[in-house]
Structure 1
Amino acid sequence: MTQTLDGRHIVVTGGTGALGGAVVGKLLGEGAICHVPNAHAAAPGHFPYPAHERVKLAHNVDLADPAKVDAFYDGVPDLWASIHLAGGFTAAPVEKIESASFAEMMDTNARTTFLCCRAAIRSMLAAETSGRIVNITARAGLDPRRGSGMVAYAASKAAVAAMTLAMAEELKGKGILVNAVAPSTLDTPANRADMPNADFAKWVSLEAAAEAIAYLVSPANLAMSGTLVPLYGRA
């Protein structure tokens, strides 16, 4: 895929996170210009590309606020693709889940994805150009029976999967391809710290996930849409 993304503008939400950094790095290697919304006033210290000439950081962008999301996308020229990695995870037995906690999980994962998809699609349709959208669901969103304490998280990620399929169907024939990846456990420093006794070799590497996402947003993807790509590693 060398240079297939050369000069193309791509949004990466959650781009300052562990997976986001890997995805941004992969896209930069393909020549893309990455627009990264950040909820805070400055990029976190672990983000490896704060001063890269093709990384456009936008601070204080609340992805659950439709006005801020729309304003951010309005500032992205010639949008080619939008990748939605921003989200969160909490686990609790169903009898201990508070209504506010359930709503927060839905906001963090499903609402932010919807608002960013909507803004990206509006931009692409207005420009009458083709484009690519990639969401991130999860293995739990496709198979909620795996694990315990996953009710709120699984519901929010299942909503992302359902939106992906519905949007892909609605946008048939309009040149916008909509897909999602569904990782199991990603091999991140945070996950290693939380599960020090796990077999890390069975987890999905950030590089493998970034490679799959990069293909889905590339012009080489001519027809793949409405697909939920399982990234389960050896689990």
Structure 2
Amino acid sequence: MSTSTSTSTTRVALVTGGSGGIGRAVVERLAADGFAVAVHYAGNQATAQALAAEIEAAGGQAIAVGGDVADEVAMAAVLDATEAAFGGIDVVVNTAGIMVLGPVATFDLADLDRMHRTNVRGAFVVAQQAARRVRPGGAIIGFSTSQTRLRHPGYAPYAASKAAVEAITLVLARELRGKDITVNAVAPGPTATPLFLDGKDEQTISTLAGLAPLERLGTPDDVAETVAFLAGPARWVNGQIIYVNGGIA
């Protein structure tokens, strides 16, 4: 379906990091729920464009939009493009993030700065733009991690960046009083994505899969289910961190 057929009754979602992993599952789920979706990418333009084309071929509405989440000018342009294509924005989901692991004592501070630029500054920029643009009745959904509770060795730099996301989420929900916009964050546990699996051997993956009482890793679809709830019917869930981890923590 062409984006030109979008109407004022169509709900519109922007998903950052939407070209792969959890982001892709979120895009596909929201499109299946009837959203017009802007698929954001930072570097993988071809993948984002292909996903948008798949959604359109299936009768949905989608565009691909690119930009650095930590660059406020680039992200303002992303939201401009989304509004121009679909007439407004109702939901912003910020799945974009990077993960670098290592112990505090030996962690490379250049890696810390790079990760926090995307995960902290990027989360703030996206939240700031969303707070200015999302229409009444909409939702802003950030991404944290269950590692803020699990506290596994090696995760301190990453968990610290996601703790910042939680702080932004909880305060912004209260700052938007009277706007009829919910602000929540999803905190996945071990989830079988390329980001999570990278650098882990089979034994480590098996151990992590066994931590949950449900005895498996999460899937991107598991997480997308929760995002869809927050993006749609969950109008009385606000200012919350939702742990999606099979009961690990």
* Cα displacement (A) at 1:51: 4.4
1:52 equivalent to 2:52? Answer no
What is the match of residue 167 of structure 1? 172
Unaligned segments of structure 2, at least 5 residues = 1-8, 210-214
Is the CA contact (8 Å cut-off) linking 1:12 and 1:85 kept in structure 2? yes
Deviation at 1:202, TM superposition (A): 2.2
Over the aligned positions, Cα root-mean-square deviation in angstroms equals 2.1
2:114 match: secondary structure: helix
**Greater shift in the superposed pair: 37-46 or 23-32:** 37-46
Distance 1:159 1:119 in 2: 17
Instruction: Report the counterpart of residue 232 of structure 1 in structure 2.
Output: 245
- TM-score with structure 1 length normalisation? 0.87
Matches within 5 A, 1:154-233: 154-189=159-194, 191-192=196-197, 194-197=200-203, 198-199=205-206, 200=209, 201-218=215-232, 220-233=233-246
Name the structure 2 match of 1:116. Answer: 126
Match of 1:22 among 16, 25, 37: 25
CA contact (8 A) 2:92 2:141 kept: yes
Deviation at 1:188, TM superposition (A): 2.3
Question: Whole-Å Cα distance in 2 between the matches of residues 117 and 106 of structure 1?
Answer: 15
What secondary structure, in the 3-state scheme, does the structure 2 residue paired with 1:207 have? helix
Asked if 2 retains the 8 angstrom alpha-carbon contact of 1:113 and 1:135, the reply is yes
Q: Distance in 2 between matches of 1:27 and 1:100?
A: 36
Q: Does 1:7 align with 2:10?
A: yes
Asked if the contact 2:19–2:44 (Cα under 8 Å) also holds between the matched residues in 1, the reply is no
% identity of equivalent residues: 30
Partner residue, 2:75: 69
Native 8 Å contact 1:74 1:123 kept in 2: no
- The structure richer in helix per residue is 2
Are residues 42 and 166 of structure 1, via their aligned partners in 2, closer, same or farther at CA, if it must alter by over 3 Å?
same
Tell me if structure 1 keeps the 8 A contact 2:41–2:48: no
TM-score (norm 2): 0.82
Partner of 2:140: 133
Deviation string, structure 1 residues 125-170 (Cα, Å, up to 9, x no partner): xx6x3310000000123x2x62111221111000001110010111
Give the deviation of 1:228 after TM superposition. 0.3
* 1:58–1:45 Cα change, 3 Å: closer
